[in-house]
Each structure stands twice: as C-alpha cells, then as structure tokens.
Structure 1
Amino acid sequence: MDPTLQELLDGIGPRLRRIRQDRRLRLEDVAEATGLSVSTLSRLESGKRRPTLDLLLPLAGVYRLALDHLIGAPPTGDPRAHLTPHRADTRTRLDAVVVPLTTYPGRLQVFKQILGPTSEPPVLVTHHGHAWFYVLAGRVRLLLGDTERLLQPGDTADFDAGEPHWFGPANDRPAEILHLFGPHGDRFTQPD
C-alpha cells in the first residue's frame, strides 16, 4: 500500500478521538447519536477497527463535517476555487491582498486584488504576459509607459505587461480589481 495512504488511514482513529474530545462528547453520546456501539467507536478511535463508510458517514453527520475533513484527506483535483487570500509582495512596493480565483499553472490566471494605498513613489515594472483588469471599487491610477489613466468602478484596462507599467489606488483609500493575467501574452477580446 502507498505509504501516504497508510499514514492517512492510521491517523483517522486518533483524529476522530480529537474531534470528539474537542466537542466535549463522550463515546456514549456519539454512540447514541449515530446508532453505533460504544465498543465499535472505541475500537475505531484506537485504530483497532478499520474505518469504513458505514462508520464514517454517521460520524460526519454528528460532527457536521465533510467526510474529507473528518478523515483529514489531502486536497484533490477539486475544480472549485478555494478563495484563500494572501498578502502579495509586489515588485512595485504596493501593499496588496490577492484572492486567487483559478489555479491553472502556466495558464490564464484570474484573481481579485485589493490594492492598499502607499506613500511610496510608483515603480514601473515589465514582465512577460498580458494583463486585463476591471475596477470593482475605489479609484485606480494606471501608469502605462508615459501615459497615466484614472479608472473608476466599472472601468477596465488591457495592456501588454512587457510595457513599463504600475497601478495602484488613485488616493489614500484601497481599490479592488478583478485581474486576469495571461503569462504567455494571451489577449482578451470581446466578440463583435
């Protein structure tokens, strides 16, 4: 058996015990709520009983947990976007929070970006790819080469990232954008 799978299976019993104890439930409480015997639950938590769906599903219901969370399963190829915000260290010295909406390595990336105000002077950068963004909230200042644009909610910008550029809040308030970035120069077009 795959060592990772064996490690996961070996950890289910202790994990179930921790979940029950964190909820301050006794084996008798869980047995009554699930219809499983105290003996079965005890053997399951100690690793002496193999975890099967007929045992895990009632426990997931009582603990109000998804089955994968109940057993501590690793992430799989779940196609849903997991909106996990993180601070972005930008080369432009801009304080930003990024919420990835896609996770396609090497392909078109979509994310919401919250741009924090800065007192630092803009630093224009270049890199491969093509960028498009839509202003959701706030005002955005876009420097593109020698051109400056002020964008309002509902405005869009579309540019080759190989051209020197910088964008950030136009004032001392944060701005939010929906940002699409194609690392290979993908262009964004609208149908005629």
Structure 2
Amino acid sequence: MDELALLGPRLRAARIARDLTLEALATRTGISASTLSRLESGKRQAGLEVLLPIVKHLGVSLDALVRTTAPDPRVRRPIIRRDGMVIARLSPEESPTQTAKITYPHRAARPTPKTHTGREWLYVLSGRLRLDLGGQETILEVGEAAEFDTQIPHAMSATGGGPAEVLSIFDEAGARLHTRVSANEPESPD
C-alpha cells in the first residue's frame, strides 16, 4: 500500500485518540476544518507547512505519520536478578504503565513491607504467592489476582516450598521500587 495513502487515516486516528474534533484542531492550528477533513480523507496532499502545526498540536512525529515499516514490537530489556527474585520487564522503558513477570523465591521469613505511591495489580501464573498487605497475610493461588493501593505497606514472597511466578503491572513509582537497577547490580543479558 502507498504509504502516503496512510497519512490521512493516521492523522485522523491521532486526532481522535486525543479526543479532538476537526473544529478544535482547526482552532489550535489555524488550519480550516475543511482542509483538515480533506487531509484525513486523502483528498488533499499535505505539505510541511500544513503538517508541522498539526503534528505539534497532536503530539506525534512526522516519522510516525509517514513510517514505511512498522516498528519492531518486541520488548528487549535485560533480566534483573536481585535477592533471589528474577524480574523480566515486559514493557518498554518509556511506557507509563510498567509490566513485569516476577519470579519470587520461597522464603521462610517474610520480607520487610514497603510503601510507595500508586497502585499495583498482579496475577499469579504459577506457585503460591504470600501477599502481606497492611499486616494481613493473603495466599494467592494460580489464576488469582490482586489489586491494591501501594501506600499500604506490602511485601510478597513465594510460599508452599517453591517459587511463584507473577505478572505485575504498576505505575512509574512502583516500577522504580520493583525493577530498579542500582549501579552495583549487574543486569543479566538473558
């Protein structure tokens, strides 16, 4: 498919994603709503003098609008190994929501609870997870999920004799606490 033919639909998708009407974008860019409509429908060619104010107000790059190939969707980030945990980060570093597969080792003693701003969501993939939330212990089995305010003191570890694999989703504050790498912690290349 002709990549320029994709320009209009990409402009329209970017505008709609930002919940803007043609009229609202016209007001912000100084380009008439009819011109914007013709650009989106492919009935008008776009020059840089028209595209630059549009991409500025939509917060997209020219490259994203005229990209000839899809970017590589794979996330390739190093594995983190810390305190017996194995953390595989599953989302790009710049993503506002971070996702990780965390393998918690079995521990006889409970880890020290921590707090931070935000919320966390987790899903147990395998094993049994001990969630200490505000001093109350909950054992989560395979297929169970939990979601909680991370300002409540919380700690997690595997229980039942083996490790527990968990899919965790958290915001930036949670990502810093759970997946940070300090200067003296090497990341594994696998």
Higher relative contact order (CA 8 A, sep 6+): 2
TM-score for both structures, normalised by structure 2: 0.50
Q: What TM-score results when the alignment is normalised by the length of structure 1? A: 0.49
Structure (1 or 2) with the larger CA radius of gyration: 1
